[in-house]
Structures are given as C-alpha cells and as structure tokens.
Chain A
Amino acid sequence: MSPFDVASLGSARNLARIGVIACIVLTLGVTLRWLFHDALPGQDHWASLNSSETYSERTFPSDEFIGSGHVAEDARLWMPRSATYRVLVGSKYQNTPWGWAAPNFLAGFLFPRKRDDADARWVVCLGCDVSSLGSGFQVLSDGGNGVVFGRIGA
C-alpha cells in the first residue's frame, strides 16, 4: 500500500484510506481475538465431544423428542429391511414432540423400511393404547415410558 500524502490528509481519497485502515484493523483485531478466544477452542470442544460420544449418543436425539432411542434401535434390529410399520401416537401426545417429531425421526432412522399406518404388522406405539391393537399384539421392546414396539400376529 502506498504511503499517504500528509499535506492532503483531508482529501476524500485519504480520508477513505484512513477509513479503510480503521476497518481492516478493527476486522483483523476482532477476528484474531475471536479466532483464539472462541472459534478454535469452540471447534476443539465440539470435536472432542463428538469423538467421545457413544453410538447411541451420536444416533439418537433426546427421548423427549423421539420417544425412546432404545425402542427405535430395537425396531431397526427386529424388522427386515423390506418391512412396513405403523406409528401410533396416543391422543395425549398428539401435540407434543412425540406427535410431530418422533414419526419423522423414525422415518429417517428406519429407512429403507416404510411406514404404512393402514396394514403394517410391526407397530411403534408412542403412548398409544396398546390394548386397542388386540390380543395378538406381541410387545418386543418396551421403553418403560409408554413407548413400545411390537408385532401383530406371530
């Protein structure tokens, strides 16, 4: 960068250059401060946390949103890849994350298995009335919080 002409410091061009220097100094100062104070430690923190997580911690969001990671995992391990399944949400939970978020998580997690609420014999029940599934419903996994997975018929 060429030096200023001090005599014409008040010219528009030199005023602009002073402004540019101020902008660069500010940006560089703030960027370097935040790089070492926040960005690098922040990325390091998350990298260490991600690295130390278990399979479950990395795979399942909180049960508050998805019902039960344990039951979802059992559902994946039970159902063949070509299976279809139902997701039944109890009326009490329709307007909670179990109603509006858990089925989406299950859809993504259980692919390539497909959801079919009409005819499927595999059932993920999120606080639903299990007795309504009839005596032929066999519970295969129970999250202990009203979330169960099972199969209708043998």
Chain B
Amino acid sequence: MAGPLPEGDKAPENGMLSASETAGSESRTFHAYVHIPFCKDICGYCDFNTYTATQLGSLKQSDYAASLISEIQFSAQVLEQSMVAPRKFSTVFFGGGTPSLLPATDLTEILNSLEQTFGFTDSAEITTEANPDTVTREKFEALRAAGFNRVSIGMQSGVQGVLDTLERTHNPENVSKAFEIVQELGFGTSLDLIFGAPGETLEQWCESLEAAISLRPDHLSAYSLIVEPGTKLARQIKSGELADVDEDLQAEKYELTEKLLVAAGYTWYEISNWSKSEKLQSKHNLAYWMGQDWWGYGPGAHSHLGSVRWWNQKHPLSYSKKLEHSLSPAAGREQLSEATAKLERVLLESRTATGMSIDELEELEHGAKSRIPQLIADELVDGAQAIKGRLVLSLKGRLLADAVVRTLTN
C-alpha cells in the first residue's frame, strides 16, 4: 500500500509556473524521473506507489505509455508557456514499481518521446530499475538499443531467507544471471540492497554484501529498511509475527557496509550510495541532493523546479483522467519559502561526501558555524575537512545525519 502524498497547496490546473518560481533555471541541470507503477506482487515492506494488475481496475498497463507521453507533451507546453528556457535532460531514471514489467517497445516509446521533446545532453545517464526475475537478454538488448545505458538491479539481499521475509519473488541465482546479461550488453551497473529485514543477522548482511561485491557493479546503494506505517510488514511487526527493526544492529550493519565496500574499492558519495569512481556516481541521484530541477512523470511522481515542488495524482486512473482532459496531473504543490529552501539545502547537501561550504552554511543558517566545534568533538563531523572549510559528515555522523541537521538548524 502506497504511503500518503504530502500535504500542500492546490496545484493550478494549467500547471503554470511563474517567472519568480523558475528564476535561475539556466544555472540548474534538468532531470526526468519516469514512474512505472506496476508490480507483479506487492512486497510486504513496500509503500511505494505501485499496483498489481488486479488493483488497477479498468486501467490497462498497455495504455500507460500513452498517458506518460501525454504528460511529457504537457510538460513541454507548460515550460514553454512559463517562459523557461529549454534545457536538455542530463539524466533520465525509470523507477517503480517494476519498469521492466512493461514491454521494451513501451519503454522505448516513452524514452523516445522524452528525447524528441527535450533532447538529452551528450553524456546523459539513462537508467532503468529492474527486478532480477524480469531481466531477459532480448528485452535488455532492445532497451540498450533504445538508448538506456545504466541498469539498477533490485538485488535487496543475497540470502534466500531474507528475500522471503521481504517477500521478494526472485532468488540469489536470478541476480547473478540478470547482472551478467546487463553487464554483457554494456550497461553501467548498480545493485540495490536493503539491510535490516526482521531476523536478518549481521552475518547474513555480510553474506549479501560479499555476494554483491563479487559481481563488481559500478555502483551500489544500501538502504536501511524503514518500516512504513500501513504496510503489511508494519502489521506483521505490530502483531509480533516479525521482530521489530533493531536500530543499533542497523548501525552496525551500516558500519560493516562502509568497511567492506571501502576494502573492495568503493567510495561513499551520499549516505546510502557508493561507487567505484567519481565518474560512476549516479548523477540522477545526486541531482536530488543538490537541488537541481527535475520533472517526475507518472502517478504520485514528485517534481522540483526552482522554488516549487509538486506531486501528481496518486492513482494511475485519476492521473490518466486528468491528462485526457488536458489538465495538469498534479495533486498538490508546495511553494518553498526562503527559510524552507535554506533548511532543505542543509538537509540535502550535508548528506553528500562533497558536503557543503561552512561559510555558505553560516549564510543559510546564522549561528550554525558556532555549533561545528561540538559536532567535531562528538566525532559527527570530519574535523580535517572542517579546517579546510567544508562540512562533511564522519562515518558516525552519517548514521546520525538527521540529528546533525537538527543541531545545525536549531
């Protein structure tokens, strides 16, 4: 079951943006997120906006590409009428749900529409997520030919028992098979892992990490499991069927992740992301943390342009209905005040390995600078980097990032 959308203001039906809202867009890069809200089954922990065939009602998956293409055209029209100078997409990310559940022809059609409408920059990063059990050579050959150049495989765990707890449909063998296919086809590779499934031991997590590392992906994401209210997992924990997540053990698992990945030659660039080299960092992922502009296509997708954030109608049916009537599919929007924008910058940029300039931080949050010595003393902030003028979290600080941000923005 998908979590709720944020509370915000009413979004205008024409989707228009004012000049002040989009000010400075020429200095920001532009990114596309494409949401594919379909899954064969819904995993117990998942609260993303995704639906099984039976949950879709009268909507057909085969009509979905057409809806997305309508929104792509709508977005071009809005930006043009809002006098935003045209920009090419630096990255495109197909996420879900399960993008690989759509036929390659549909995915190709959507990608082509994006390219024809906006164009892609020369080294554009074009990623799709994939479930290990939906990866076939035939399909991914087609996607490679269509222009996709990076695949993020939802491995989640290398231990069958843990995959069962998470209610994943794939098995560890699928992962290596899928990985070999996409690697051979010349895609950039990333593996997604989740740590902290109920009952997962430190040894099992170690086993998962070793399995992932042995495939030598370009990039790795390791996400701490969050028990979202309303999910089946939350109910299972509440009823006592499954153990609650032990946050101390989670911390140990994160520390182990850092240790093993560093030993294998990976470097962190954001709290949950590591890559083999700077070049192999996910540019799309970084765009979120660095406050760039992106348009999120699809039901429940979030967009950010200048000082506005908005989010689309959650259900695919109401989403496509809006577009059929040439209306903005947005369900709500949020105008970021100067103070909110400042808070977001600290919140987001401090999560990256680049961190943020302390002088700039002080400009955003008056008084933040004076709190840094204590944060260094508590080993939450890297002292050597601070001396060079940058706020970068230490390993301990990464685990307490939210607490550090609260301290800095007190």
| A-B complex is real | no
